[in-house]
A and B are shown apart, each in its own frame.
Chain A
Amino acid sequence: MPFRRYITVLALAALLGGADAPSEYDVKAAFLLNFTRFVEWAAAPSPDASLSVCVIGGDPFGQALDQTLAGEVIGNRRITPRRLRSLEGASCDVAYFPHANRDTARSLAAMPPRVLTVGEGEEFLRDGGMIAFVMENRRVRFDINMAAVRQGGVRLSSRLLQVARMVK
C-alpha cells in the first residue's frame, strides 16, 4: 500500500520536525519494550534463556531497537532483539511485523502459541495480530485485538488495555 506508506513517511517526517523529539521508531521501540512488561510470560525453558523480540521481514527500527532493548531484562530473562526473514524454525517471544512484510497474514495464521504479535496499522489486527501501532494526531498509539490475544494464549495485563486506543 504505497499510499498508506506515504502517509506514514509523512507522519514520520512530521514527527522528526521537532529538534530533539524522538522518532516514530524510537517511540515504537520503547513501546515494544514496555509491551513485554505487561505480559505474564510463561516460565523460561532454561534459566539463561533470553526473551527474544523478533523483527520479521525488514527492519524499520535501525539503531533504535538495539539501543532501547540493550541491557533490559524481564524477570531474569535478557531481552534480545533478533531480525529474521521469516518466522519459520525460529523461537520468538515477541514477533514484530513491519508494514513492509507482505507475508504477515500467512505468518500470523501459522503462529505458534504464546507469542505476542505486534504489527503496524489497523489491518494487522484484521489479519489476526494482537497489538497494532497506529498513528493518531502524529502520536504513536496502539490497538489491541483481545480475541487474538486470548487465542494465542498470551496473558496480557488489563492495565495495558487502559492505555490502548481501541480494544477489539
Chain B
Amino acid sequence: MTLLRGLFRDWPIKRKLLAVILATTTVAVGLAAAGILWTDSFFYRRLLERDLAALSEIIAENSAAPLAFEDAKAASETLAALRAREHLVGACIYRNDSSVLARYFRSGTRAVCPPRREELAVMPTAGAITISRPITLRGKRLGTLSIEYDLGEVTERRTLYGTTVLAILALSSILAALASARLRDKVAEPVFRLVDTAGAVSRTRDYSIRAERLTGDEMGVLVDAFNDMLSRVQSRDEELQRLLLDREEANRQLLRLNEDLERFAFVASHDLQEPIRMITVYTQLLQKRALLDQTPETAGFVHNIVGGARRMRELVDDLRAYAELGAPNEPDVSIDLNLALEKARDNLALSIRSSGAEIRMADLPQVRAYEGHMVALLQNLIGNAIKYRGPAAPTITVGYREAEELVFSVEDNGIGIAPEFREQVFVPFKRLHGPTIPGSGLGLSICKRVVERYGGRIWVDGAESGGSIFRFALPLEMLVSRSEKKAV
C-alpha cells in the first residue's frame, strides 16, 4: 500500500488523472451494477411471484369447468397454454382425492407433478418456485392447481446484467480513457505550461518571461502569483542592474580622476625637477659668493634658501617616485632581493654612516618584480628606521619568512609608532612629527603603493624594544627561488 502510494505520488499528472478517471468510472459502474443486480434479483423474484400468482389464478379459473366435468382433454388444453412460458417446468390439476386430472411438463424435464397444498401456497424451493392454488367453483372446491416455475430466468437476467455491466465497464473505460486524453490536456496543460515557463526562466534568467493564464481556476491563481513574483524579481533585477551600472560609472569616473591626478603629479614632479635644479645650482653659487662677502645676514638667508631648495628637491623626487609607480608597468624580471637590499643600503650609505646604524640582513629570496620598486621599498623602510631612531644607534634587522605568502620584516629600535597612528602612517603627506624630522611624507605611501601593486599588503607592529616592525607580505606566485646565493 505504501509502495503503491509512493508509486502513485511519483507518477506524472497525466497518468494520475487517467488513473483517477478510470478508478471513478469502475467504482461508479461497479456500484451501479451491483445495486441494479441486487435490486433486480430481489424485485424480479417478487414480480415473478406475483406474476405466477396471477397466472395460476387464470389457469385455475379456466380449469374449473374441465375439472367439474372431468374433461381431461380440455384441462390439458388449458395447461398446454403454459407452453409459451419457457421457464415453467410443469403444472398439474389435481382432483380433490389427490388424483391427477391433467398435467403439463416442459419437454426434457422429469414428469413429476409439483406438490399440492390445501391452501393457496407459494413455495420457494432451490432454483424454483412452486405455487399450489385451490380450484373452486361458486365457493366449492373442485381440485388443486400446482405450478412449478424455475428461477433460470433470474439467473439468466443476472448473467445478462453481468455481461452488460462488464461490456459497459469495458466500453466506458475505453471511452473514459479516450475522453480523458482531452480532459487531461485541459487540466494538465496549464500545469505543463507553467512548468515550461518556470524552466525557461531559471534557464535563461530572463525575468521578463510571463506564464500564460489559461484558466480561471486555482491554476490561474497560481499563474498570476507566479507572474507577480516574476515581475517583482524582474524589477528588483533591473534595479540591481541599474545600481551596478551606476557603480561602474562612478568607479570609472573615479579611476579617470585618479589617472588625471597621477598624470598631473607625474608631470608636475618631472617638470619641477629642472627649475629646482636651477635654483639649487644657482643658490649654491650664490652661497659661495655670499661667503666671500661675509655678510652674516645674507649668509643666513642663502643658507635657508639652499636648505629649502634641497627639501624641495627631495619632495619632488619622492613625488616623482610615487607618481611613477602609477605609470605603466616595466616588465617584471627575476631579481635577487639581496641585491636590491644592497642597492638600497648603498643609496643610504651616507645616513647609515652618520647615524652609525647597524643593518642585519637575512637571506632574501629571488622574486619576479621590477628591481626599482623593490629598492625603493626597502630603501624607504630602512631610511625611515634610521630617520626615526632613538637615542641609541639604530639597529635594523631585515627578516624574511615564507608561509602562504612571502613575509618580510624590517625591525628597528627607534622611537616607535603609537598603535592609534599605525594605519595613518601609510597615508600620503601624513606626518606625525612635523618639521623636526625632515621628510616629504611620501616614503611609506610609496612602500604601500609598491606592495599593493604586486597584490601584497603592508602593516606595522610595535617591536619589543619599543621600536617598530614594518612587515610586508607578497604573493607566493612572485617567488622564483629561495635564494640566488644558494642557487649559485
Residue of B69, B74, B137, B140 near A31 (CB, 8 A) is B69
Contact A163 B74 (CB under 8 A): yes
- Residue B414 interfacial (CB < 8 Å): no
Contact A74-B138, Cβ < 8 Å, known A162-B74, A163-B74: yes
Q: How far is the CA of A142 from the CA of B68 in the complex (A)?
A: 12
Closest partner residue, chain B, to A160 (CB atom)? B65
Contact A163 B69 (CB under 8 A): yes
In chain B, positions 132-182 with a C-beta closer than 8 Å to chain A are 137-138, 140
In chain B, positions 51-94 with a C-beta closer than 8 Å to chain A are 62, 64-66, 68-71, 74
Chain B nearest Cβ from A167, distance in angstroms: 13
Chain A nearest Cβ from B409, distance in angstroms: 144
Chain B nearest Cβ from A97, distance in angstroms: 19
Closest partner residue, chain B, to A36 (CB atom)? B138
Contact A163 B138 (CB under 8 A): no
Q: How far is the CA of A163 from the CA of B75 in the complex (A)?
A: 9
Residue of A27, A37, A140, A163 near B66 (CB, 8 A) is A163
Chain A nearest Cβ from B63, distance in angstroms: 10
Contact A37 B138 (CB under 8 A): yes
Q: How far is the CA of A142 from the CA of B69 in the complex (A)?
A: 9
Chain B nearest Cβ from A143, distance in angstroms: 12
Contact B137 A37 (CB under 8 A): yes
B70 contact set on A, CB distance < 8 A = 27, 139-140
In chain A, positions 65-80 with a C-beta closer than 8 Å to chain B are 72, 74-75
Contact B68 A34 (CB under 8 A): yes
Contact A159 B69 (CB under 8 A): no
Contact B69 A34 (CB under 8 A): yes
Q: How far is the CA of A37 from the CA of B68 in the complex (A)?
A: 9
Chain A nearest Cβ from B82, distance in angstroms: 17
Closest partner residue, chain B, to A161 (CB atom)? B65
Chain B nearest Cβ from A80, distance in angstroms: 17
- Give the size category of B's interface with A: 10 to 19
Q: How far is the CA of A140 from the CA of B70 in the complex (A)?
A: 9
Q: How far is the CA of A97 from the CA of B137 in the complex (A)?
A: 25
Contact B64 A159 (CB under 8 A): yes
Chain B nearest Cβ from A111, distance in angstroms: 24
In chain A, positions 5-37 with a C-beta closer than 8 Å to chain B are 27, 31, 34, 37
Q: How far is the CA of A75 from the CA of B69 in the complex (A)?
A: 20
Q: How far is the CA of A74 from the CA of B74 in the complex (A)?
A: 25
Contact A34-B71, Cβ < 8 Å, known A159-B64, A162-B66: no
Contact A34 B137 (CB under 8 A): yes
Q: How far is the CA of A54 from the CA of B20 in the complex (A)?
A: 88
A31 contact set on B, CB distance < 8 A = 68-69
A163 contact set on B, CB distance < 8 A = 65-66, 68-69, 71, 74
Max chain A CB contacts within 10 Å: which of B70, B137, B140? B70
Chain B nearest Cβ from A141, distance in angstroms: 8
Chain A nearest Cβ from B77, distance in angstroms: 9
Chain B nearest Cβ from A144, distance in angstroms: 12
In chain B, positions 70-128 with a C-beta closer than 8 Å to chain A are 70-71, 74
Q: How far is the CA of A106 from the CA of B291 in the complex (A)?
A: 211
Q: How far is the CA of A27 from the CA of B69 in the complex (A)?
A: 9
A140 contact set on B, CB distance < 8 A = 70
Residue of A27, A38, A139 near B65 (CB, 8 A) is A38
Q: How far is the CA of A140 from the CA of B62 in the complex (A)?
A: 20
Contact A37 B74 (CB under 8 A): no
In chain A, positions 51-101 with a C-beta closer than 8 Å to chain B are 72, 74-75
Chain A nearest Cβ from B75, distance in angstroms: 9
Chain B nearest Cβ from A69, distance in angstroms: 12
Closest partner residue, chain A, to B68 (CB atom)? A34
Chain A nearest Cβ from B430, distance in angstroms: 145
Contact A37 B71 (CB under 8 A): no
Contact A159 B65 (CB under 8 A): yes
A38 contact set on B, CB distance < 8 A = 65, 68, 137
Binary B-proximity of A123-166 (CB < 8 A = 1, otherwise 0): 00000000000000001111000000000000001011011000
Q: How far is the CA of A160 from the CA of B74 in the complex (A)?
A: 11
Closest partner residue, chain A, to B73 (CB atom)? A163
Chain B nearest Cβ from A24, distance in angstroms: 12
B71 contact set on A, CB distance < 8 A = 141, 163
A141 contact set on B, CB distance < 8 A = 69, 71
Chain A nearest Cβ from B320, distance in angstroms: 151
Max chain A CB contacts within 10 Å: which of B62, B64, B68, B69? B69
Contact B65 A162 (CB under 8 A): yes
Q: How far is the CA of A160 from the CA of B70 in the complex (A)?
A: 12
A34 contact set on B, CB distance < 8 A = 68-69, 137
Q: How far is the CA of A37 from the CA of B66 in the complex (A)?
A: 13
Chain B nearest Cβ from A157, distance in angstroms: 8
Chain A nearest Cβ from B342, distance in angstroms: 156
> 3 closest A-B pairs (Cβ-Cβ)?
A34-B68, A159-B65, A163-B71
Binding site for A on B (CB under 8 A): 62, 64-66, 68-71, 74, 137-138, 140
Apart from A38-B65, A142-B69, A157-B65: 20 A-B pairs, beta carbons within 8 A: A31-B68, A34-B68, A34-B69, A34-B137, A37-B68, A37-B137, A37-B138, A37-B140, A38-B68, A38-B137, A72-B140, A75-B138, A139-B70, A141-B69, A159-B62, A159-B64, A159-B65, A163-B65, A163-B66, A163-B71
Binding site for B on A (CB under 8 A): 27, 31, 34, 37-38, 72, 74-75, 139-142, 157, 159-160, 162-163
10 A-B pairs, CB-CB below 8 angstroms?
A31-B69, A37-B68, A38-B65, A74-B138, A142-B69, A162-B62, A162-B65, A162-B66, A162-B74, A163-B65
